[in-house]
Amino acid sequence: MSLSVGWLVYSCGRRAAIMREHALVRLNLCLLVTCCVANWDAVTGGRSFSPSDPSSGAPANSELAQALEYPPPGFLQGPKPECILHVGPHKTGTSSLQALLFQRASMLQSDGWHQPPNLPGTTLDTGEYAHIPGFKGGVNLALFLQTRTPNTSEPIWLAFASWVQAKARRRENIVLSSEEFDRTSAHISLLARVLNPLFRTTVVVGYRHFYEWAPSVYRQISTTPGPVDGERVHSTFSRWLTPQVAGTIGTGRYRGLLFTNELVRRYSWLFGDIRVLPLDAAFLNVFVCSFLNASRTCASLYDRPPQRMNTKHTETSDYACASESSESSRGECLERSVRNTLLERTIRSYTEIALLVRPALKRVNMTEIVQGLDALGLCFCHRKT
């Protein structure tokens, strides 16, 4: 009897130990999954995707998504069509490029490249309804993606997702462009969720030297800021470009703007093919003739050269250097540390993106960078405290 009782006690104890071991294994697995999800959220900005969730990355209505499968099984057989996704950043020739795409849309279509229809507008987080017509129409989709929780049952998203599927089904190439894709608030993982299963997507990121880009951004936000730029800057350039602004603009910490190297880093998490388009005299031809390989449209660029927009260069009269001792120059010159920051960030960003340009950019030339900055006529001086 004592032996039976002892065996029963042993069996129960052993079973409890096994159950504890199983519970520990389950706990470890839960912790592992939680850690992986947390790491993925850090990459995607905390967005998770479930077609039943209206804030998810897959289209919400049953016609566009079935259960957890997007696109439906067997939707696309064989090689995928191409998608060229031009994401800015601001002030890198985006308006000129978008005007060209808009004006020669019919010819591009004959070359096999299609652009979204006139999409509806979207409701911003402020409650305002925004709709941008014409060649800037790509902004509407970008503004939708910038909302805090994109509602994929909104007409703009349903129209876009339906158009994307229709083009993919017919094996038609598409091109999308908006500088507003350069904001940290844009849920680009939602865009990738729709494009990547259906298209071979190439992300194109514009580039100009950082020391040229920063003054150009100032000109825009001090005159005609966009719908998400916030208040217009009223201060002078020299008072605006403080050491703090020089060090943070383009990193996402100033108005959510990302400069070229930061954009490349962000999009490379979700898209495998990233190309950089330098802003030079031939950048429109490079986009059409090389990236799109649109032969008819390319030939038309030589017959009827496109008009470039917003080509106003930095005027030395706006930022010219007065005598450091003159009364008029007090507070109207940039701190010398700003010059060092502009040079350092120009060299670093140039080095990071050089290999993504085809043919690759030549090695950075410090002398040329310094001469280019000095040619802007910016005034640097020691601030008296």
User: How does pLDDT run along the chain (385 residues), one tens digit per residue?
Assistant: 443 434 343 444 444 444 444 444 343 434 343 344 334 433 344 333 333 343 333 344 444 443 334 565 556 677 899 999 999 999 999 999 999 999 999 999 999 999 999 999 999 888 889 999 899 999 999 999 999 999 999 999 999 999 999 999 999 999 999 999 999 999 999 999 999 999 999 999 999 999 999 999 999 888 876 666 666 787 899 899 999 999 999 999 999 999 999 999 999 999 999 999 999 999 999 999 999 999 999 999 999 999 888 765 444 445 545 444 433 334 478 999 999 999 999 999 999 998 888 778 888 889 999 999 999 988 888 665 4
Q: Report the pLDDT value the prediction gives residue 114, as an integer from 0 to 100.
A: 98
| pLDDT at residue 56, rounded to an integer | 37
Predicted model pTM: 0.78
pLDDT at 355: 83
pLDDT of residue 193: 95
CB atoms within 10 A of CB 91: 24
Q: Helix or strand or coil: residue 122?
A: strand
CB 181 within 8 A of CB 142: yes
* Residue 259 neighbours by CB distance under 10 Å: 27
Q: Six-digit token pair at 254?
A: 């100033």
Centroid of chain to Cα 7: 68
pLDDT of residue 74: 58
Q: Which residues contact 70 (CB under 8 A, 6 or more apart)?
A: 51, 58, 59, 64, 193, 194, 197
Fold of 83-303: Rossmann fold (3.40.50)
Write the DSSP assignment of 289-342 as a string of letters. Answer: IIIS--HHHHHHHHHSPPPP-S-PPPPHHHHPPPPTTSGGGTT-SEEHHHHHHH
Both tokens of 195, joined, read 């494009």
The phi and psi torsions of 28 (rounded to 5 degrees) equal -65, -40
Per-residue confidence (pLDDT) for residue 280, from 0 to 100: 94
Please state the domain extents for the chain.
Answer: 83-303
